[in-house]
């Protein structure tokens, strides 16, 4: 059996009681190519932000490399790369980012 790299179980995020991600279940194994597709507002960015421990899920669980990215953040965060659609750099660091 191949190693599971990412697994979400009933992953849910609600804003003002409206589910933007509702009971999402994903399993991605080592070597697989996976695309997260959908129209604007489908919850793609929210899902990625939860996986990368930027946005806390309302319910459900995430396993990234066999670890919970919220409880074991320093064990997994340096092993993933994520570039959001809108690249946001804190103004305090913008000097260092561009010079």
Range of the domain at 25: 4-98
Round to whole Å and give the CA distance between 41 and 47: 11
Distance CA 25, CA 32 (A): 16
Question: For residue 88, what pLDDT band results from cuts at 50, 70 and 90?
Answer: low
Number of folded domains that form the chain: 1
- Does pLDDT of 81 surpass 90? no
pLDDT tens digits, 17-31: 999 999 999 999 999
Cα separation, 56 vs 46, in Å, equals 10
pLDDT in tens, 21-79: 999 999 999 999 999 999 988 999 999 999 988 899 999 999 999 999 888 888 888 88
CATH number, domain with residue 59: 3.40.50.300
Instruction: Specify the DSSP class assigned to residue 63.
Output: E
pTM of the model: 0.80
């Amino acid at each position: 059996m191949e190693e599971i790299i990412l697994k979400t179980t009933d992953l849910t995020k609600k804003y003002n009681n409206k589910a933007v991600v509702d009971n999402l279940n994903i399993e991605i194994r080592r070597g697989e190519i996976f695309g997260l597709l959908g129209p604007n507002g489908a919850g793609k960015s929210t899902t990625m932000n939860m996986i990368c421990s930027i946005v806390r899920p309302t319910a459900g669980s995430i396993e990234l490399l066999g670890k919970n990215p919220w409880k074991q953040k320093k064990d997994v965060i340096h092993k993933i790369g994520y570039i959001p659609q809108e690249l946001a750099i804190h103004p305090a660091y913008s000097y260092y980012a561009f010079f």
